Amino acid sequence: MNRVAKVVKGGKRFGFAALVVIGDQKGRVGFGHGKAREVPEAIRKATESAKRNLTRVALREGRTLHHDIAGRHGAGRVYLRAAPAGTGIIAGGPMRAVFETLGIQDVVAKSVGSSNPYNMVRATFDALKHLDSPRSVAARRNIKVSTLQARRVGGDVEAVAE
């Protein structure tokens, strides 16, 4: 929630801007921005905008990211790293809200540059948009998903292929 003021002849006119992040905690998340003269109206507009902008993110084991990734928006940059089970959400401010509503339980995130919440959320969504699932990577490389996952854990590729 952000209060803004417009100075007019009779004094100040206040307006409100709301940034809302919504999700189902199962891999769908969206954000919206709404502005109005009253707080509830700004929140309603932001929530409607967030519902229109829901995106699906593939999660590994339903709790973390498939791979490390970076995103940017304006001067804001975010770095997201997959984390082992039990790590928790290590992220600041607006990024934490995105991960909680998305359903991520283990992630390490760092923001660099802009600390503006809107830029941080947009940069986080930029990173999540470029996240690839093992299925899409395997299809792009023309290999099996099992081969790709064997390489990830350092297994013997020839042993898996046989």
Q: Closest by alpha carbon to 57, among 126, 111, 108, 150?
A: 126
Q: Name the pLDDT band for 147 (thresholds 50, 70, 90).
A: confident
Question: pLDDT (tens digit, 9 = 90+) per residue, 20-33?
Answer: 999 999 989 999 99
Contact 138, 160 (CB under 8 A): no
CA distances from residue 126 to 19, 71, 122, 130 in whole angstroms, order as listed: 16, 5, 6, 7
- The CATH architecture assigned to 2-131 reads 2-Layer Sandwich (3.30)
| pTM (whole model) above 0.75 | yes
- The string of pLDDT tens digits covering residues 125-145 is 999 999 888 888 888 888 888
Domain extents in the chain: 2-131, 133-162
Please tell me the predicted confidence (pLDDT) of residue 153: 63
